[in-house]
Amino acid sequence: MEKLKKKIGSFSFWNWVIASIIFRLILIYFPKNLNLSSRPEVSTPLTSFRRLAEGYWLKQSSMSPYAGSMYHGSPLLLSLLGPLTVKRIEGQPNHLLYSLVSVIADVVSAMLIRATGRNLQFAYLRTLESLDLVKQIEGSELRSSGDVAALIYLCNPFTIVACVGLSTSPIENMAVILCLYGACSRLIPLAAFGWVIATHMSLYPAILIIPVIFLLGCGPDAPPRKLFLQRHQQKGVLNESKLPHGFSWGPIIHFAFWALVWSVYVLVLCGISLKQFGGLWEMFKSTYGFILTVEDLSPNIGVLWYFFAEVFEFFRNFFLIVFHVNILFMILPLAIRLHHRPCYLAFVYVAICSMLKSYPSVGDSALYLGLLGWFVNELSDMQFSLFLFCGYVGVSLLSPVMHNLWIWRGTGNANFYFATAMVYACLQIVLVVEGVSAMLNHDRKLRRLLTGKLQDVKS
């Protein structure tokens, strides 16, 4: 990734964007044998295109889209994207319109990431200025983190595969990014909308409410508040204007109100579209219920499918609780430790979710890898980044091979494929842990610089 970033730096941003779009279009026009839409890495039971088409077909033939256990997505997605699954243009690839929608979603997400990244960088520079640390940091070059993040998101093979493989994850990712963008640029209704839609579509983004509250309450990422106080106390002059704002409740109440409005709106829409087929309860049961009780044991890049295929039936509930609580348990410690950096907190949450969720796909990885680009400057001295990069490349090459050996040739074994999933989980763990400690180290470095400077001043 480091290499990638450096390479990108020398090229113009827009060239890369156009190149990635053209690459996507070429893949879309590629003959049918690419068959990405049924790869287990791309299409999970939640994001699969074929299941979406099946749900739409069931709905068209006046049955509940949740009849049977095929479709587990949102009914809104069904009414928005469903017609695109059957619409065909003569002489064009089968699902051209649908693919174009995903390409557009990807580009929009990239643009939002870029805007948010610029926002973050601006905030970062301002805080450095207020701490008079610009010179020290300037020594190591500052990269424009927004551009880097947007390009990582657009050119990441994971994103491209998820987009061309017709999964719904580009749209889910866009909702998450919309939420973060709205919160960063203080567009509260937009943030609430993104949060509600993202939660509605895949449940896990619900925990993003904590970073969003911090973002709205005390502004974007900054070094710990203590540092500012220390600095000003040492200086003797308490300059109120240079201090970051304290926690303000106004925007949060505003956010809560909008979140309520949007969720009522979404529920009413869902209720209308499911009126004749069992209503909302049916929807919750086969979307959130399906996510929480890992019912579908078809292989994916996570570890839960094999675990629940093997675990004894009477332990199943216990382990279901343990694995889901694992996500929840980490929320509070992370929130306490990283509360001054809400965007980073959001990144860590997204990464943890994509690691521990019941049906992960590469689209989720694409999202957190894209968000990682925001913190290029802060994480510049992260450990193991080369190891991680090689690990990701290795796993993404080995995993399809093992899947092929097991499923198609019949010469391999489920364990081989599971081993790659295991390695992938470990890589993500290393990424999260190292990322968090690198960010904490960065804060420490700032403090050290500050105290060193103070001592200089004193002496």
Partner 1 sequence: MALLRRPLLVLLLVVTHQFLQLWIVFGSVNEEGQKQEEFFEELLLKPLPDRKLLTHFHFQSSAPPSSNGRHHHLFPKAISQLVQKFRVKEMELSFTQGRWNYESWGGFDSIPSSNAKPPGVELWAVFDVPQHLIDALWKNLTHTLSGLFCASINFLESSTAYSAPEWSFPPASGNLRYGTLPREAVCTENLTPWLKLLPCRDKAGISMLLDRPSIYRGFYHSQRLHLTSTGSGSEGLDPGIILEQTLTVVLLPNSQRASLARASEKHIQPSWSLRSIFGKEVSGKCVLAENSNVYLLLDRGLVAELKQLHKEDEESAEKVLASENYWTNPIFELSAKPDRIFIEESSLLSKNSSILYKFEVEKYSESEPFDLGLTWKIPVVWLCQQAPLHASRFLMGSGNERGAIAISLKSTQSCEGFTGANFDDERCELRVDVFQVVPWYVKVYFHSLQVFVDQQPKAVSDIIEKIHVSPSKDKVSPGVMELVLKLPCSVSSAALTIEFDKGFLHIDEYPPDANQGFDIPSAIVSFPNFHASMVFLENDSLNKSPLLSKFQEKSPVMSYTEVLLVPLTTPDFSMPYNVITITCTVFALYFGSLLNALRRRVAEEERFLKDKAAKKSGRLPLLLSKLSAKLRGRHSEPPHSTPGSSSLVNSKLVFKVILVAGLAVCWQYYFS
With CB under 8 A as the contact rule, the residue among 21, 25, 63, 111 that binds partner 1 is: 63
Residue 115 DSSP SS3: helix
Residue 57 vs 288, nearer CB to partner 1: 57
Q: Tell me which of 299, 360, 363, 391 binds partner 1, using CB under 8 A.
A: 299
Residue entry with tokens 């065909």? 88
The verdict on 422 binding partner 1 (CB under 8 A) reads yes
214 binds partner 1 (CB under 8 A): no
Contact range with partner 1 by CB under 8 A, out of 139-147, 245-253, 390-398, 411-419: 411-419
Residue type present at position 49: F
**Total H helices, total E strands in the chain:** 21, 0
410 is an interface residue for partner 1 by CB under 8 A: yes
Q: Is 345 helix (H, G, I), strand (E, B) or coil?
A: helix
Tell me, by CB under 8 A, how many residues bind partner 1.
Answer: 57
Helix (H) or strand (E) segment spanning residue 17 = helix 13-29
Which of these, 121, 126, 125, lies nearest to 242 by C-alpha position? 126
Token pair for 219: 């502004």
CB 64 within 8 A of CB 257: no
The smaller minimum CB distance to partner 1, of residues 132 and 295, is found at 295
Q: Which two tokens stand for residue 192?
A: 């609430």
Burial class (CB in 10 A: 0-12, 13-18, 19+), 411: exposed
Among 13, 242, 263, 295, binds partner 1 (CB under 8 A): 295
Give start and end residues of each alpha helix (H) in 275-382: 279-286, 288-292, 304-310, 316-337, 342-356, 362-372
DSSP H helical ranges for 30-68: 49-60
- Per-residue contact flags (x/-) with partner 1 for residues 311 to 350, judged by CB under 8 A: xxx--------xx--x--xx--xx--x-------------
Q: In the bound complex, what is the minimum distance in angstroms from residue 445's beta carbon to partner 1? A: 11
437 binds partner 1 (CB under 8 A): yes
Determine, following the binding rule CB under 8 A, whether residue 81 of this chain makes contact with partner 1: no
Q: Which stretch binds partner 1 (CB under 8 A): 89-97, 109-117, 373-381, 432-440?
A: 432-440
Contact status: 166 vs partner 1 (CB under 8 A): no
Comparison of 101 and 421: residue with beta carbon closer to partner 1: 421
| Residue 38 lies near partner 1 (rule: CB under 8 A) | yes
Which run of H or of E encompasses 255? helix 250-273
For the record, the structure tokens of 410 come out as: 């019949």
Catalog residues that contact partner 1 under the rule CB under 8 A: 38, 40, 50, 53-54, 56-58, 61, 63, 67-70, 295-299, 303, 305-313, 322-323, 326, 329-330, 333-334, 337, 355, 406-408, 410, 413-415, 418, 422, 425-426, 429, 432-433, 436-437, 440-441, 444
